[in-house]
Chains A and B, each alone.
Chain A
Amino acid sequence: MITFKSVTKKYTADSMGLNGIDLHIESGEFVSIVGQSGTGKTTMIKLLIAEEKVTSGIIEIGGWDITRLSDSDIPLLRRQIGVIFQDFKLLPKKTVAENVSFALEVAGEKRLRIKQVVPRVLDIVGLSHKVDRYPHQLSGGEQQRVAMARSLVHRPKILLADEPTGNLDSINTQEIIDILKKINEFGTTILLVTHNREVVNQLKRRVVTLHDGKIISDEDKGKYRL
């Protein structure tokens, strides 16, 4: 599903994001990427959504080489991958429903289909009673659930989660992880970047540990070992 082949990302001559990474993730896997700050976890996410370009190496998603995408192909890639961030990245001047439907509108989905799908997805994340609220009227956990609904609305095969629980308390963290597990059960490949030891240990799934831009361990049912 996702393949990194000798991927290196240098920001400046002395600032290395990733250093010759080789990694293969199968379809339907739930992989946690762990490591200290500045070890390249977020760089991996940025490369996967083409927010950054590799210095060398190849990244393939479903056999599609995304390292040499033209500017016009980048939106197409992003519409096929769901992404959630620590800071939610919601549009502040749009309501919950509008934030979610925006992801479909940019992809040119028909209005009727948007009307059907959005309430269903908001129901899955438990926000069907807050569709007309604006992001600032929601709690952190609720905002993250809106972001999840937005990332799921076009049924992506891959969901990238960059520290999704970093700004949340333990109850909201558990809710988000439960939703991620549920999404994974439906067959979506999940790449979770996290610092949260409890979350990683509780998941008992594959754990890839990064250090100085290199993979130092890759365990099928791993634990947080830093």
Chain B
Amino acid sequence: MLSGFFRIIKFSFQEIVRNMSLSIMTVLILILMLLSINTLMVVKVLTDESIIAVKDQIDVSIYFNPEATPDEIQEIRGFVSAFPEVEKETFLTSDEVFNNFKKNYADNQDVLSSLDELGQNPLGPTLIIKTRDPKDYEKIIKNLSLPEYENIIEAKTFADTQTAIDKIHSITTNVQKFTYFLTILFAIIAFIIIFNTIRVAIYTQRAEIGIKRLVGATSWFIRGPYLIESFIFSIISVVITYFLVDFLLKFLDPYISVVFNKNNLLSNYLSQNWLMVVGIEFGVVFLLTIVSSGLAMRKYLRT
């Protein structure tokens, strides 16, 4: 039993070495297929990051009336922070708002001289609210539209935010749909490529399979080396692909960091999730090669 297993391992290594060109071709195709799957992974990471970045740009600002008392402001801050949907609220005093305004319009001499003309700070304090999900802004804004707050709150950036939120929802949903479509498409392509590669490899050896049957080899004695070969090809292709992808991501990262303002975004993702990425890729490739070789060989193993 054990010697049979070792013989199967010996035969599989013999087959790999003596059919070197076929072995190299098979591994190359597996690598190409894995690279396309990794492209999908990169697209997903970048899409997720884009969505986070866009969502991060959105917030709701509550502009208080300059005459609002600290107690009134405190009451509204307490009211807002009580919502579980609120992730963060930042309060800016009148002076901070005034300074920020001046900074923003530092290049506009007309605006600055108008402020000087007034001789006092015309801007009230501001509360900047950030929710966990953009769709929650609407709820916060609605709840703040109470009659007793009308004299305290001068303005809310509701309308603009609502449009942006709707757009982001639409983009996010569509991008996710497109990613799912791509995933399914790539999975189908991967299956077809692997199935045909293995089928061609086995087709070239159909005469040998027949001879092995004639000298009394059992199905498992014939199948065994192909299983071990599939295992070895899967390991080699996954390892080579990992290092290739790691190299490519390190090359891409400086360009990505310009857009997202994050260093090593892609390579960090790979290094943090390498076990999952390698595990899933190996599992998929090994399973596909085994199923493909099993289906392709079935025909030649009959009697």
Residues of A within 8 A of B (CB): 49-53, 71-72, 74-79, 83, 89-94, 102-103, 105-108, 110-111, 150
Does the CB pair A106–B208 fall under 8 Å?
no
Residue of B nearest to A88 (CB): B211
Does the CB pair B216–A92 fall under 8 Å?
no
Q: How far is the CA of A79 from the CA of B217 in the complex (A)?
A: 8
Residue of A nearest to B6 (CB): A111
Does the CB pair B221–A106 fall under 8 Å?
yes
Q: How far is the CA of A1 from the CA of B223 in the complex (A)?
A: 33
Does the CB pair B215–A78 fall under 8 Å?
yes
Does the CB pair A93–B217 fall under 8 Å?
no
Does the CB pair B218–A91 fall under 8 Å?
no
Among the listed stretches B13-21, B53-61, B133-141, B227-235, which one makes contact with chain A, having 4 or more residues with CB under 8 Å of it? B13-21
Does the CB pair A93–B215 fall under 8 Å?
no
Q: Which of B201-230 contact A (CB under 8 A)?
A: 208, 210-219, 221
Question: Which residues of B have CB within 8 Å of A102?
Answer: 212, 215, 217
State the 8 A-B residue pairs at the shortest beta-carbon distance, nearest first: A79-B216, A78-B216, A106-B217, A93-B18, A75-B216, A103-B215, A75-B218, A89-B211
Does the CB pair A106–B211 fall under 8 Å?
no
Residue of A nearest to B222 (CB): A106
Question: Would you call B7 an interface residue if the criterion is a C-beta within 8 Å of the partner chain's C-beta atoms?
Answer: yes
Question: Would you call B122 an interface residue if the criterion is a C-beta within 8 Å of the partner chain's C-beta atoms?
Answer: no
Q: Is the interface of A mostly helix, strand, loop or mixed?
A: loop
Question: Which residues of A have CB within 8 Å of B214?
Answer: 49, 51, 78, 83, 89
Does the CB pair A110–B3 fall under 8 Å?
yes
Q: How far is the CA of A50 from the CA of B216 in the complex (A)?
A: 11
Residue of A nearest to B10 (CB): A105
Q: How far is the CA of A89 from the CA of B18 in the complex (A)?
A: 18
The A-B contact count (CB < 8 A) is 55
Residue of A nearest to B17 (CB): A93
Question: Which residues of B have CB within 8 Å of A105?
Answer: 7
Q: How far is the CA of A74 from the CA of B214 in the complex (A)?
A: 9
**Distance (whole angstroms) from the CB of B7 to the closest CB of chain A:** 5
**Distance (whole angstroms) from the CB of B28 to the closest CB of chain A:** 21
How many chain B residues touch the partner (CB < 8 A)?
Answer: 20
**Distance (whole angstroms) from the CB of A112 to the closest CB of chain B:** 11
**Distance (whole angstroms) from the CB of A197 to the closest CB of chain B:** 28
Q: How far is the CA of A74 from the CA of B215 in the complex (A)?
A: 10
**Distance (whole angstroms) from the CB of B214 to the closest CB of chain A:** 6
Residue of B nearest to A105 (CB): B7
**Distance (whole angstroms) from the CB of A159 to the closest CB of chain B:** 13
Does the CB pair A111–B3 fall under 8 Å?
yes
Residue of A nearest to B218 (CB): A75
Does the CB pair A90–B211 fall under 8 Å?
yes
Question: Would you call B4 an interface residue if the criterion is a C-beta within 8 Å of the partner chain's C-beta atoms?
Answer: yes
Q: How far is the CA of A53 from the CA of B221 in the complex (A)?
A: 23
Question: Would you call B303 an interface residue if the criterion is a C-beta within 8 Å of the partner chain's C-beta atoms?
Answer: yes
Quick one: which of A51, A71, A94, A103 contacts B216, CB cutoff 8 A?
A103
Name 29 interchain pairs, CB-CB below 8 A, sorted by A.
Answer: A51-B214, A51-B303, A53-B303, A71-B219, A71-B303, A75-B213, A75-B216, A75-B218, A78-B213, A78-B214, A78-B215, A83-B214, A89-B214, A90-B211, A91-B208, A91-B211, A91-B212, A93-B15, A93-B208, A102-B212, A102-B215, A103-B215, A106-B212, A106-B218, A106-B221, A107-B216, A108-B3, A110-B3, A111-B3
Does the CB pair A106–B3 fall under 8 Å?
no
Question: Which residues of B have CB within 8 Å of A53?
Answer: 303
Residue of A nearest to B211 (CB): A89
**Distance (whole angstroms) from the CB of A86 to the closest CB of chain B:** 13
Question: Which residues of A have CB within 8 Å of B213?
Answer: 75, 78
Does the CB pair A106–B303 fall under 8 Å?
no
Q: Convert B17-39 into 0s and 1s, putting 1 for each residue whose CB lies closer than 8 angstroms to a CB of A.
A: 01100000000000000000000
Q: A106-B221, A110-B3 are in contact. Are A74 and B211 (CB under 8 A)?
A: no
Residue of B3, B216, B217, B218 contacting most chain A CB atoms (<10 Å): B216
Question: Which residues of B have CB within 8 Å of A90?
Answer: 211
Question: Which residues of A have CB within 8 Å of B215?
Answer: 78-79, 102-103, 106, 150
Quick one: which of B4, B212, B216 contacts A76, CB cutoff 8 A?
B216
Q: How far is the CA of A103 from the CA of B7 in the complex (A)?
A: 12
Q: Which of B130-185 contact A (CB under 8 A)?
A: none
Question: Which residues of A have CB within 8 Å of B19?
Answer: 93
Residue of A78, A105, A110 contacting most chain B CB atoms (<10 Å): A105
**Distance (whole angstroms) from the CB of A164 to the closest CB of chain B:** 14
Residue of A75, A77, A91 contacting most chain B CB atoms (<10 Å): A75
Q: How far is the CA of A53 from the CA of B213 in the complex (A)?
A: 16
